[in-house]
């Protein structure tokens, strides 16, 4: 039996395997709200331009509202034989309103329909990510303000480098996620043009009003080239790219939480809300939420790579290959949305173990740079010479298994005669962080100011300067 949507060109139905490979309804049914919105607006435009009668327009609109209600209530029966969301809606519309339903597809194609549906969906998703990222930033900024002066070690190569504050570390991610948010916003603004009315690829001979349909769906304007409108998926690629970068930043923070929760560190503690136990080791508390956020990166980067490969060799305009643009994108966007929510929850939940962090902040000669800076600033040594002297003092302390501030002054002056008692003022971790007052530095007052600046931006929805 032929598919009635195809008309008389085909005399028989598809093979079962063709139906399996061709059908997309299993995943594109999530676009039902966007598809019905686009159809309602298209119908309004057809009536406004006199292409269809107002009577038919009313029937179609009422039928579409009924279908939307059925879908939202979970009462709509989707059919794989009808392939996709468009044909499922159109078939049900014909059952509800009869011949008038056949007029809805005037001056459009499934090519511009799916381009519209997916663009609407991706635009909404980008906005959801902006909001989720700002919520995560807010959680981090609040933590930064609360722990603006809590000492912890800063690392390079995962080796103790210099003392910093926990608040400063939190603000580093506020900045990173701020750029992620900006990328989401840029992508959303760039994709905000309407493909509806491009029809199959060449436009239409009907006197449609594309500016009206674009305006009704809050697009900035219609897409200027009908071929580009149906052939382009760069709007999906761009959001997937921004999502992949965001996921990588999320993963870096998740990795740090995993490390910080481990027994050798014990820098932070997660409550039972974001931890799990072991089936065999009753003492275990595992940061599984962080580990799963870390793992989501593979799915998101994989979706980006997959769509890049699908699109790389396609001539203009539409090819069925482009049906593969949605399933992995949906999975990637779901994964990122879940990861952002989980991370915001973890940040609000975690409790910094301040005593443990402070103990390690002064370990492994973390104030050696402060000693070198003092030699430059007070003793007037060239930095390279000061670096060499500091290295000798570190070697001395290491050999004796003592800290830098435990080296007697007499021994220090044997290495460099210009060292005075004042040197001990810069060798504590607390004095070290207090001295880092340069813009963007870890001094507690700096951290407090930056945290308050971000809280003001995030709580009042201001643009980042």
Q: Tell me the catalytic residues.
A: 157, 278
Whole-angstrom distance between the N-terminal and C-terminal Cα of the chain?
63
Contacts of range 385-393, beta carbons closer than 8 Å, 24 or more positions apart: 389/415, 389/416, 393/368
- Tokens linked to 21: 């490979």
CB neighbours of 167 closer than 8 A, spacing ≥ 6? 143, 144, 145, 146, 147, 148, 149, 150, 444, 447, 448, 451
Task: Measure CA 168 to chain center.
Answer: 22
d(CA 223, CA 216): 15
**DSSP structure string for 348-360:** HH-EE-HHHHHHH
Residues 351 and 114: their CA atoms lie apart, in Å, by 47
Per the CB < 8 A criterion, the answer to whether 419 and 413 are in contact is: yes
Which is nearest to 127 in space by CA: 185, 41, 183? Answer: 185
Residue bearing tokens 């929760």? 261
């Amino acid at each position: 039996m032929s598919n009635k949507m195809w008309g008389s060109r085909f005399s028989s139905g598809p093979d079962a395997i063709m139906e399996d490979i061709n059908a997309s309804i299993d995943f594109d049914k999530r676009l039902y709200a966007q598809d019905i919105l686009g159809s309602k607006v298209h119908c309004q435009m057809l009536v406004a331009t006199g292409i269809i009668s107002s009577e038919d327009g009313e029937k179609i609109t009422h039928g579409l509202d009924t279908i939307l209600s059925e879908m939202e209530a979970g009462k709509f029966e989707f059919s794989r034989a009808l392939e996709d969301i468009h044909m499922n809606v159109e078939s049900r519309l014909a059952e509800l309103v009869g011949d008038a339903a056949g007029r809805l597809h005037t001056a459009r194609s499934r090519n511009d329909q799916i381009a519209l549906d997916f663009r609407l969906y991706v635009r909404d998703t980008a906005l959801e990510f902006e909001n989720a990222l700002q919520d995560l930033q807010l959680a981090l900024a609040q933590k930064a303000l609360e722990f603006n002066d809590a000492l912890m070690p800063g690392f390079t190569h995962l080796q103790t480098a210099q003392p910093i504050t926990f608040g400063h570390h939190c603000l580093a991610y506020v900045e990173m996620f701020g750029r992620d948010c900006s990328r989401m916003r840029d992508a959303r603004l760039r994709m905000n043009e309407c493909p509806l009315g491009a029809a199959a690829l060449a436009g239409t001979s009907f006197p449609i009003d594309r500016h009206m349909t674009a305006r009704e769906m809050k697009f900035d304007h219609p897409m200027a080239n009908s071929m580009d409108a149906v052939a382009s998926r760069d709007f999906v690629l761009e959001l997937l790219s921004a999502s992949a970068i965001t996921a990588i930043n999320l993963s870096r923070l998740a990795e740090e939480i995993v490390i910080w929760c481990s027994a050798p560190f014990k820098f932070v503690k997660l409550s039972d809300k974001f931890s799990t136990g072991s089936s065999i080791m009753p003492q275990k508390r595992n940061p599984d939420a962080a580990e799963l956020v870390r793992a989501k990166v593979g799915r998101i980067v994989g979706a980006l790579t997959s769509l890049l490969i699908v699109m790389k060799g396609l001539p203009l305009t539409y090819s069925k290959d482009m049906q593969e643009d949605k399933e992995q994108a949906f999975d990637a966007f779901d994964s990122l949305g879940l990861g952002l929510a989980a991370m915001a929850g973890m940040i609000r939940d975690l409790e910094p173990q301040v005593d443990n962090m402070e103990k390690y902040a002064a370990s492994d000669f973390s104030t050696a740079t402060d000693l070198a800076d003092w030699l430059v600033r007070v003793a007037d040594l060239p930095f390279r010479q000061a670096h060499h002297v500091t290295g000798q003092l570190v070697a001395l302390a290491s050999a004796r298994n003592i800290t830098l501030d435990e080296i007697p002054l007499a021994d220090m002056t044997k290495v460099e005669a210009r060292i005075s008692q004042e040197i001990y003022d810069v060798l504590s971790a607390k004095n070290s962080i207090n001295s880092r007052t340069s813009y963007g530095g870890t001094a507690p007052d700096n951290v407090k100011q930056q945290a308050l600046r971000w809280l003001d931006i995030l709580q009042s929805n201001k643009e980042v300067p």
